[in-house]
Structure formats: C-alpha cells, structure tokens
Copies of this chain bind each other. A is one copy, B any other.
Amino acid sequence: MTFTADNYIYKGPFNVAHIAQQTGCEISGSSDFEIKNLAPLDVAGEGDLSFFDNSKYLEQFISCKATACIAHPKFIDKAPNGMVLLTCAEPYAAYAKAAQMFYRSKDEVAGISAKADIHPTAKIGADCSIGAFTSIGENVVIGAGSVIGRNVSIRSAQIGANCVIHDGVRIGQEGFGFAMGASGHVKVPQLGGVVIGDNVEIGANSCVDRGSGPNTSIDSGTKIDNLVQIAHNVEIGKNCVITAQCGIAGSTKIGDFVVIGGKAGIAGHLKIGSGARIAANSGLMRDVPAGSSVGGYPAVEIKDWHRATVLINKMVKGRKYDDN
C-alpha cells in the first residue's frame, strides 16, 4: 500500500530526534536515523516511521521492518531488533503530530478562490482559504487561518481562527421555527446568529442553523463530522466529537468533551453534561448527567441498554426471562 497523499504538501524528511522532540516522545535506540515517510506496520520499511497502538496488531509490530515506530513504553520489550522506538502515553496523538510534520493540506495554503462570492462587508482573517462556489454573506466574520471548502454557504455567523469548514456545509440559514396552527403555520423570523470558536471542524454537507433570537453556538476545539444537523439555539461546548448524521434539535445545551456516536438523534431543550458519551444510533429524549454513558432508543444508561438487549435476546431464544 502506498499512501496517495494527494492534495498534501510533503515537508519531510526529518531525523528521529526532531520527530521525538516535536511529538513529545522518548527515544529508545539511536536518534540518528532519517525518516522519509509514514507507513503502516505491515508494509513499512527502511526510512519509514510506523505506529502501534492496538494490541490486535502485535504480530505485525513484532515483525515490522520500519526504521522507527511510535508506541506505548509498555511494548519496548516486544520491539524487533534494530527498530528505534518513540514512546509516549498517547501514541495515536503522537502519530497524528508526526503525520502533520510530514504532510500539510494544500487547502490550507490555497487562498481565496476567484470563484467564491464574498460580500464586501465580510471580514476574512489572514491566511484563510475559501473554495470555489462558496458564498460568504453580509457581516460574516472568519478568523485567521480558517479553511472554508467548496460549495459552502455562510450567513449571519462569526467563525473563529483555524477552523475547517468542509465542502457543502450550510451555516446561518434560518432555523426551523413556525407557530403551528389549525389554519397553517406562521413563520417566526430567526433573529439570532451563529457563533463558532477556534479550531472547530465541520464535516461535508452538515448544517448549522442561526438562532431564533439567541445564537446557535459551537465552542472551540469541537469536531463535527458529515451530514450533521445542528438546529437553532443549540449550544455546544469545547472539544466535543459529533459523528456523522447526528441531529441535535433546537435549544439543547451540550457541555465540553461530549462524544456522540454516528446517527444519534438528540431531542430539543435537553442538557447533556460535560464528558457524556452517547452511543451511535441512539435516540435521546432526556437530560444526560456529566460523565455518564447512554445508548438505545429511548436512550438509557448504557449498561441498562445492554442488559435489555441481552434479556430480549434470551426471551426470543425461548428461555424464560427470569432465568436471567
């Protein structure tokens, strides 16, 4: 396997000592080698840096031919002879940093496309990139170093620095607000905006509606995948991870470091405490305390959901439920 690395700028090579310093790793072995590229355990060879984080791949690690490998220090004894080991407590994060040393996305340096449509009142920070066929509306603010993809539309929004907004994202359109009535539904003007912090990433074709009066907000460091719906007045804290096709209904407030699995649906006006974890495909209809894990539809404490699954399965298999 060869990495395509298409649309990236290669910035290597680097010697082992420099990589260790930049990624916060300890070196076990010689620090003199030059590393030319990255490769997975099973195909890496001379001049390559690999990484080992999942003990499922221990066999591959033991026979790996890479010049150097990032791993947890507990695996030092398993490393093949001659391999330089770069050890740290979070090997995947160290690998991510090393990969960033070697490869920089061309999108980050592409600049502003002549085929984008940018309103003269919009304020675009230094070193931003904006793709073709993207609309940036009146009074929009985009912080320095942010990368806005192609076919994006942004209105009524302030976006922080170093954000990545992928292709086809919609930010700041009117929220879904109607006064429902027996003779039809009356539209409620959506007078709030969208406020997005720094280092936020929003995946392709996701939507973030403007607030109905208050703002919709996404705080710094939060990462959102593709095809996600963020409704009006939702508040999302720092460093959350929201996986593809999730939907968060209006006015729900989400704390920091919340992790939401793919396709989860979260009802409106809920509070999800910091550090909560919500299983993929869940349907959430109640508040979730900080630090807890939930799953199922309707979502319950994750152990109870797994118990219910086991119990129903036993019943279906013809065993009495009180055998449980």
Q: Which residues of A contact B (CB under 8 A)?
A: 1, 3-8, 38, 40, 90, 92-97, 99-100, 102-103, 105-106, 113, 115, 117, 131-133, 135, 137-139, 149-151, 153, 155-156, 164, 166-168, 170, 173-174, 176-182, 184-189, 191-193, 199, 201, 203-205, 207, 209-211, 213-215, 221, 223, 225-227, 229, 231, 239, 241, 243-245, 247, 249, 257, 259, 262-263, 265, 267, 280-281, 283, 285, 296-298, 300, 304, 307-309, 311-313, 315-317, 320-322
Residue pairs across A and B with Cβ atoms less than 8 A apart, 22 shown, are A96-B187, A99-B191, A113-B117, A131-B135, A131-B153, A133-B135, A151-B153, A153-B167, A164-B174, A168-B205, A170-B226, A176-B226, A184-B199, A204-B209, A205-B207, A245-B245, A263-B265, A296-B297, A300-B316, A304-B317, A308-B313, A321-B321
With A151-B135, A263-B265 already in contact, the answer to whether A244 and B229 are too (CB < 8 A) is yes
Evaluate contact between A263 and B283: CB separation under 8 angstroms.
yes
- Chain copies in the assembled complex: 3
Q: A133 to B106: give the CA distance in the assembly, Å.
A: 21
Evaluate contact between B267 and A186: CB separation under 8 angstroms.
no
Evaluate contact between B176 and A244: CB separation under 8 angstroms.
yes
Q: A38 to B6: give the CA distance in the assembly, Å.
A: 47
Q: A226 to B168: give the CA distance in the assembly, Å.
A: 13
Evaluate contact between A297 and B321: CB separation under 8 angstroms.
no
Task: Say how far A173's CB is from chain B's closest CB, in angstroms.
Answer: 5
Write out the residue numbers on chain B whose beta carbons fall within 8 Å of the beta carbon of A209.
Answer: 204, 226
Write out the residue numbers on chain B whose beta carbons fall within 8 Å of the beta carbon of A96.
Answer: 177-179, 186-189
Write out the residue numbers on chain B whose beta carbons fall within 8 Å of the beta carbon of A132.
Answer: 117, 133, 135
Task: Say how far A130's CB is from chain B's closest CB, in angstroms.
Answer: 12
Q: A238 to B128: give the CA distance in the assembly, Å.
A: 40
Q: A99 to B191: give the CA distance in the assembly, Å.
A: 9
Partner of A229 from B245, B313, B315 at Cβ < 8 Å: B245
Q: A97 to B199: give the CA distance in the assembly, Å.
A: 39
With A166-B170, A322-B320 already in contact, the answer to whether A103 and B191 are too (CB < 8 A) is yes
With A99-B188, A229-B226, A298-B309 already in contact, the answer to whether A3 and B213 are too (CB < 8 A) is yes
A214: nearest chain-B partner, CB-CB: B1
Q: A227 to B246: give the CA distance in the assembly, Å.
A: 11
Q: A151 to B207: give the CA distance in the assembly, Å.
A: 13
Evaluate contact between A297 and B281: CB separation under 8 angstroms.
yes
Additional pairs, 13, CB under 8 Å, beyond known A3-B191, A304-B316: A38-B191, A94-B179, A166-B170, A166-B174, A184-B199, A229-B244, A229-B262, A243-B249, A245-B245, A262-B267, A265-B281, A267-B280, A311-B315
Task: Say how far A27's CB is from chain B's closest CB, in angstroms.
Answer: 20
Partner of A204 from B92, B173, B184, B211 at Cβ < 8 Å: B173
Write out the residue numbers on chain B whose beta carbons fall within 8 Å of the beta carbon of A133.
Answer: 117, 132-133, 135, 151
Task: Say how far A263's CB is from chain B's closest CB, in angstroms.
Answer: 4
Q: A231 to B244: give the CA distance in the assembly, Å.
A: 9
